[in-house]
Amino acid sequence: MLLIGDQIIPRNTEKLNKLFGTTHRIGDWETRALLSGEPEIVIIASGRDGVLKVAEDFKKACEENKIKLRIFKSQKAVKEYNRLTGKGKKVNALIHTTC
């Protein structure tokens, strides 16, 4: 799922599987959503075992937009998301809930 501002957007697993053969990558539409709304921080929850991969171009896009990127396994990512939003930080997130 994507957490963009106050929206919860399900990941389009069918589209991801069709394009990449897996849900372990971030789609271009997800990148645009994660960078939207001028977040201070983007959190990527890479799954229980850290299987989701974050491409270098996504990392570069965050850097170019002066957005801090944090990548954690999912359990820690959710805790960090809650901690930061509880402090009033503007955070977008992608939560990969499997693998």
Which residues span the domain enclosing 31?
2-95
Per-residue pLDDT tens over the stretch 3-17:
999 999 999 999 999
- Residues 40-72 have pLDDT tens digits of 999 999 999 999 999 999 999 999 999 999 999
Number of domains, the chain: 1
Q: Does residue 67 sit in helix, strand or coil? A: coil
- SS3 at position 54: coil
- The amino acid at residue 92 is N
- CATH number where 80 lies: 3.40.1230.10
Q: Find where tokens 């930080």 sit.
A: 89
| Dist CA 95 CA 11 (whole Å) | 9
